A and B are shown apart, each in its own frame.
Chain A
Amino acid sequence: MTSKRRPLPAAEPGTAGLVPVVQVRAVKVAFGGLLALRGIDLDVEQGERLAILGPNGAGKTTLFNVIAGDITPTSGTVAVKGVDCTRLPSRRRPRLGVARTYQKARTFEGLSVTDNVYLALAGHYRRQRVPWRSAVDRRLRDEAGRVVASVWLGDHRDTPAGALAHGQKRQLELGMAIATDPDVLMLDEPASGLSRGEREHLVELLDALAESVTVLLIEHDMDVAFRVARRVVVMADGEIVAAGAPEQVRADPKVHEIYLGSEGRS
């Protein structure tokens, strides 16, 4: 009832003639004098699993913020499902089927785990300002309960999010992002700070997503990134320096140079 609100085209990922789900064109972002993004072009097909790699300060999160609408680019355009949304505020993006998580888990500390997920659903189903509780809310709440269980937080439904452990907050964030059946799921370092067991959970969860869901992933953990992603984009200094299949990128001498030269994590 609550899921499957719009039928997804049955097309294969990357079918010719289909508009890319995410289309980034010549995007530049300047923070004062600092150019965080120096002209990014990126097409993401429907159902693609794309990992964005790169050392700290490469502009990965900035690119995410541009696609999710938290930052308006200085120049260039962003389109989601063929709709130009360069200047659309972030609150309108969920309607395009975009959901995201943040690098530092952003949950509502004072609210229960279920309420956190419920808010994600309420935002999606346009119940933002409804000042009463109805049967619809009960259904959304049930749905929230199911999502909470699916991210292994079933024992913590009524726990305030602020009382969760770090890894559990990440699980909750993921739950909030997948609750609405997004078409484009953007995960900013979902595995950071997770234990090995929790990472397995995460990969399992991502594998369980429907084929049609497009996943954009920023990840420092190569293991997670390469297991989830079918295509990898490497960024450095606000530019895309390499792109291709995981094996291809792994073998790219340029990528080696970046990682060895940056003293970064590999």
Chain B
Amino acid sequence: MRSGSPVYRRGAALALLVVVLIALPSVVPAFFINFVMTQTLMLGLAAATIVFLAKYGGMVSLAQFLLFGVAGFMYGNAALEAGSRGLNLGWHPWAAVAFALAVTTAAAFLLGALASRTTGLYYLMLTLVYAVIGYFVFAQITEISGPSGITSIKRPELLAAPVSLYYTALGLSVLAYLGFRALGRTAFGLALQGMRDDPVRMASLGFNVPLHRTLAFTLGGFVAGLGGLVNVWWNGQIDPASIGIGPTLILLIIAVIGGVSYFEGAWLGAFVYVAMSTYLRDLPLIDRIGITEARFNTVIGAIVLLIMVLSPQGLAGIADRLRRRPTRPRRPAAGSADETEAAIRRAQLIDE
């Protein structure tokens, strides 16, 4: 049917965007790449896991930033040879990567299994509890972190150049975006969407709903862990405060700004957030109207409110609507043929 052309257009747009992003470091200042864009991509990657779970599974998770942090802490513990905190296992960086991802995935499996029988508000609350517990685990167990966290974490030599982190985050983001979208059309992904709509029916069709939800959460945790690794390489350190309630909520806000039902929205929201937090203070006269660093959250809040009022589907929702607009005149034309046909049929029925 005609649905082929929007698919191609979307693919072409994505390919063009990726080409632009690959070429970007040779065009724009290094600060924009290494600070704004790298952060955008890794936060977007983590936010995309919120979108994945919410969009397909109807599970709004507040534990994604915790898993993002678990990967970072585990990498720090395994990779560091000496330091005041952590296990200082001194492993090879790539062994530490494997370890961090394994622990994150296992933690996600356990936490996901515990939450797999809850839905809706309870899922949100339970994952919030995970986030809080996670914070205290790393804040209080000094063997693996302690309140001041793990510092001077080195990244693998392969990624020594700052721009390589940008490319890593870009590659992972593209893979996650394509992977999540493709998964939505497989048996696993369709079943997850079925469970979002009616879990009881899915069970009577032969699906193990709790296991399915657990596996989805595990996958989300794994991908969040990938983002967490980029984060810890980028930051060079990690402490419990960086995975506390504040950052946890910011990740949710990023997903909401972008639009929770669009994967694009995760990165869009992350870009808006990072750009605002980076450039707001540089705007001319901004402090004259009372917006100072301390009031940053107020500005973010106001912007979230504005977006929610304008488009409950977030920025990606606005973009989607704008994109659909030019094609609209064509649709009634195609539809009207059907309508005419139906009208003729109705007329014939009346005649009879």
Contact = CB atoms under 8 A, between A and B. Distances in A.
B partners with A: yes
Nearest to B58: A110
B238 to A, nearest CB: 31
A119 B189 contact: no
Interface stretch (A21-29, A130-138, A207-215): A130-138
A119 B212 CA distance: 14
B203 A108 contact: no
A130 B205 contact: no
A122 B204 contact: no
B207 A108 contact: no
B152 interface: no
Interface string B281-308: 0000000000000000000000000000
Contact of B204 (A94, A111, A127, A133): A94
B187 A127 contact: yes
B208 interface: yes
A133 B185 CA distance: 8
A251 B16 CA distance: 76
A54 interface: no
Interface stretch (B23-31, B157-165, B193-201): B193-201
Contacts of B183: 131
Contact of A128 (B1, B196, B197, B207): B207
Contacts of A89: 203
B5 interface: no
Contacts of A120: 205
Nearest to A69: B204
A118 B190 CA distance: 9
A81 B197 CA distance: 31
Output the residue of A100, A131, A158 with the most chain B CB within 10 A.
A131
A108 B200 CA distance: 11
A2 B208 CA distance: 22
Given A127-B187, A128-B187, A91 B194 contact: no
A165 to B, nearest CB: 14
B176 interface: no
User: Which of the four size classes fits the interface of chain B?
Assistant: 20 to 34
A90 B204 contact: yes
Given A70-B200, A110-B196, A111-B197, A133 B212 contact: no
Interface string A71-111: 00000000000000000011111110000101000111111
Output the residue of B189, B206, B212 with the most chain A CB within 10 A.
B206
Contact of B206 (A108, A110, A123, A158): A123
B186 A123 contact: no
A102 B201 contact: yes
B202 interface: yes
B191 interface: yes
Interface in B315-350: none
A94 B190 contact: no
A115 B194 CA distance: 9
Contact of B193 (A69, A70, A108, A123): A108
Interface in A141-171: 158
25 contacts: A70-B204, A91-B206, A91-B207, A95-B206, A100-B204, A106-B198, A106-B200, A108-B197, A108-B201, A109-B197, A110-B196, A110-B197, A111-B194, A116-B194, A119-B191, A119-B205, A122-B187, A123-B206, A123-B207, A127-B187, A131-B183, A137-B186, A137-B187, A158-B1, A176-B205
Interface of B: 1, 3, 183, 185-191, 193-194, 196-198, 200-209, 211-212, 215
Interface of A: 68-70, 89-95, 100, 102, 106-111, 115-116, 118-120, 122-124, 126-133, 137, 158, 176
4 shortest interchain CB distances as A-B pairs: A123-B206, A123-B205, A94-B206, A108-B197
